[in-house]
Structure 1
Amino acid sequence: MLSVPLLWLVVMYLGSILVMLVSAFWTVNDFTGAVEHTFTLDNFARLFTDPLFGIVALRTILVAIGVTVIDAVIAIPMALYMSKVASPRARLVLLVAVTTPLWASYLVKAYAWRILVEPNGPIAFVTGGQTPGYGLTATVITLAYLWLPFMIIPVYAGFDRVSNSLVEASFDLGGSAWRTVRSVVLPLVFPAIAAGSIFTFSLTLGDYIAVGIVGGKTQLLANLIYGQLVTANNLPFAATLSLIPLAAIVLYLFALRRTGALENV
């Protein structure tokens, strides 16, 4: 029974990645614009010699890390309250509030933030003219909002799996609330935080729509890849650029695996 899903994974997912890797060594005819299946390292030479791509790659990774940290800072106390403090009715209301945005259109949410951060938008009205405007800050805020449920849900599940008896035992032994959370609860919930961070980190690396809506002149890797595909019509170089976020997520998963978090997810 496992052969069919395994075949699907190998052929459709890993196969497409292999095709992308191979196409990164192809070239484009300067006259016709057609892709030529001729082996070349020119795409990689361009990638490593043009400083623009290094700057955008670093910016993209830092944005992904920033979005992940912001979502974790918001999700951990919220999930802790939902699982251990809130009444059953309040917990249900909060779960509905967290999951409802997932049913809303991605574009609707992104354009809602465009309205919020615009120079004459609601944020400027409330703060007396102070607003992030369109740019990198608005991009980070929007992406953090879009991916927040993907962090809250696994962290909430992680807190919910922590037995209350462990918390009570810590209090009985004289542990303060902060010491209990730091030494007892968070180590047990860390795999759930790691699982949520995989979502927020990888989704941010691959997003180009929100950046185009609220980012102004800000460019991330996904925007460059999209530009090479649509504007420049250069599939091989787009495939070359795509290897950067692919390598970043592989390294991120490897780093989490070294912590032992993935074995307990």
Structure 2
Amino acid sequence: MSDLSSNAALFAPRSGPLARAVDWIIRHPRMFVFLLVLPITLWLGIVYIGALIALLIQSFFSIDEFSGVVVHEFTLKTYGELLRPYNLDIILRTVAMAASVTIAAAILAFPIAYFAARYAKGKWKALFYVGVMLPLWSSYLVKVYAWKLVLAKEGILNWIFAKLHLTWLLDGFLSLPVIGGNSLSVSYIGTFLVFLYIWLPYMIIPVQAALERVSKDLTEAASDLGATPRQNFRMVLLPLALPGVVAGSIFTFSLTLGDYIVPQIVGNSRLFIGQAVYTQQGTAGNIPLAAAFTVVPIVIMGIYLWGARKMGAFDAL
């Protein structure tokens, strides 16, 4: 009886409009949850989505070629400028870099994630997580500038190639058209290496999580039925781990697609989408074209996320 009386006293209506409102919210869990998510919903709806809508509207304006003033009239002229060879080259270059980084990250991440999922136990698994996450604990700019020094002509990488008498091999890579340059720090090869290093942890973790959910009994059963290791990987392991690979590719692809700091510090004078947005918005003052450039990765990622959802990638996030 004492418990019942104490519970009744606890949930008894209190006086005052504020107290009664609190009591009513507590007695209605759905309203309580709604009020909890309301602030973040307003933030996303007003600040984030509102900014995207404003950006989209700006992309339908144009700029007067003589006065440099933005003409606030809806037109597709700015999007037509994206199809000019110079701007189209920027888009294709960025997408090619993002795709190559994503593919290379998946190739490197899979064996690392497989070892962690199958063989790392206890403290070794904890050490694995620390090793993967450790690069993320340092400053983004510090890592990029550190790689700038490593890849420079006077950097440690060139010194190692010289000590191994493999300078001819490095010079051969740098002499390749398009991707080469005077040194690794001013070439697409160097930009690719820095992107790969920075975003690789974002691929390893989802792949490792997907492989954790693949039962070892399935691969053993396939081996018992006569499957070779290659067939086991191609027909059992890879299809089951593919959602994790796609989930990791969402991070690596999107982050590479929108980055402008890495190609600004490590790379040559050819622009990527992020640099084009910065240049058009800051130096040229062409806000509509900068907005149109930012719509490009949004559309690409929208299509990419739709395909990833069809493959069940969100289950591995």
Partner letter of residue 312 of structure 2?
A: A
Aligned mate of 1:93, from 124, 127, 136: 127
Q: In structure 2, list runs of 5 or more residues that go unmatched.
A: 1-32, 171-182
Name the count of aligned residue pairs: 263
Q: Please report how far the alpha carbon of residue 263 of structure 1 lies from its aligned counterpart in structure 2 after TM superposition.
A: 5.8
Secondary structure of the equivalent of 1:137?
Answer: helix
Offset from partner CA, 1:31-68 (integer Å, 9 cap, x none): 775545333333223222x2101111111101000000
Q: Distance in 2 between matches of 1:158 and 1:45?
A: 42
Partner letter of residue 120 of structure 1?
A: E
Offset from partner CA, 1:173-206 (integer Å, 9 cap, x none): 3333333222222111111111000000000010
Q: Distance in 1 between matches of 2:54 and 2:185?
A: 40
Counterpart residue number, 2:312: 261
The within-5 A match list for 1:8-23 is 8-23=43-58
Offset from partner CA, 1:143-197 (integer Å, 9 cap, x none): 1111000000111111111122223322333333333222222111111111000
The within-5 A match list for 1:96-135 is 96-128=130-162, 129=167, 130=170, 132-135=184-187
Q: Distance in 2 between matches of 1:262 and 1:163?
A: 18
Structure ID, larger Rg: 2
- The alignment-based identity, stated in percent, is 37
Aligned mate of 1:82, from 96, 100, 116: 116
Q: Please report how far the alpha carbon of residue 96 of structure 1 lies from its aligned counterpart in structure 2 after TM superposition.
A: 0.8
CA contact 1:64–1:201 (8 Å) conserved in 2: yes
Q: Distance in 1 between matches of 2:44 and 2:243?
A: 25
Residues 1:85 and 1:178: Cα distance change in structure 2 (over 3 Å): farther
Aligned mate of 1:198, from 218, 239, 250: 250
CA contact 1:136–1:218 (8 Å) conserved in 2: no
User: TM-score, normalising length from structure 2?
Assistant: 0.77
Counterpart residue number, 1:172: 224
Provide the aligned C-alpha RMSD in A. Answer: 2.1
Q: Distance in 1 between matches of 2:207 and 2:248?
A: 7
Q: In structure 1, list runs of 5 or more residues that go unmatched.
A: none
The within-5 A match list for 1:1-265 is 1-2=33-34, 4=38, 5-28=40-63, 35-48=70-83, 50-128=84-162, 129=167, 130=170, 132-258=184-310, 260-262=311-313, 264-265=315-316
CA contact 1:135–1:217 (8 Å) conserved in 2: no
CA contact 1:135–1:218 (8 Å) conserved in 2: no
Secondary structure of the equivalent of 2:240?
Answer: helix
Residues 1:174 and 1:84: Cα distance change in structure 2 (over 3 Å): same
Partner letter of residue 155 of structure 1?
A: V
Q: Please report how far the alpha carbon of residue 242 of structure 1 lies from its aligned counterpart in structure 2 after TM superposition.
A: 1.0
Q: Distance in 1 between matches of 2:74 and 2:219?
A: 61
